[in-house]
Amino acid sequence: MNLGNLKQMTERGEKIAVLTCYDASFATLMEDAGVDLLLVGDSLGMVLQGAGSTLAVTLHDMQYHTRCVARGAKNIGIISDMPFGSYQISPEQALRNAARLMAAGAHMVKLEGGSVMADTVRFLTSRGIPVCGHLGFTPQSVHQLGGYRVQGRNTEDAERLLHDAMALEEAGAGLLVLEMVPAGLASSLTAQINIPTIGIGAGTDCDGQVLVMHDMLGIYPGKTPKFVKNFMQGAASVQAALAAYVQEVKSGAFPAAGHSF
């Protein structure tokens, strides 16, 4: 799986199924179930480490879990989150740390932020490091955003998100995660840019979907977000739940209206 494959999938109308993954065993299971991309998410701070946010996750944590996932996933794309504080100072800092994640087995790195990060995205992509952007609710900015809130509800915020998406695309980003934005806005934004969008709480019209593995298996003890579906309910095994997730993303059955804002 590479960026060219993703673009081809969207061109033929095939949805992209993405899940977070943190270890070799689940990487193998997900690949066998037909998941298209694995995201080594800094969500590990919450679901693995028990923290209240992603902010304490370190670059060492991300390298370790990326290596684990890469050992289990042989023929599937791996995206690794750049943790808080590892890329915001300068493009040069971002390059040093992105290179470490790529050396650990990532095929693409993900960073949060809009046009303010465009120069960093351009710096990385011009040096051979594929970048996935992340807009809408950005967990590393949870305190600045005032908590876990839907983004882009008013006209000004919606226009800002569209401007940010276009800036990231122009800078060379190859993929864009949209988190907790109104379904109508995500649909409009997806139609106006030429790179695939991956939604999480952003409606069904994105080019693909992503969920945190622990959420979609119903094993995270924290509060379940509105946009999550527990695929273990009615499934005979974890493998069956993973396959059901892939099937529902591909068919457009997930997310349903009740999972959207």
Per DSSP, what are the bridge partners of residue 177?
134, 198
- At 236 the three-state DSSP class reads coil
Contact 13, 205 (CB under 8 A): no
DSSP run (H or E) holding 165: helix 155-171
Per DSSP, what are the bridge partners of residue 209?
17, 199
- At 33 the three-state DSSP class reads helix
Q: Give the angle subtended at the CA of 86 by the CAs of 83 and 89, to the nearest 5°.
A: 140
Residue 222 DSSP code: S
Residues classed as catalytic: 179
CB neighbours of residue 219 within 10 Å: 12
Residues in the chain, total: 261
How many helices (H) and strands (E) in the chain? 11, 8
> Quick one: tokens of 215?
């959420």
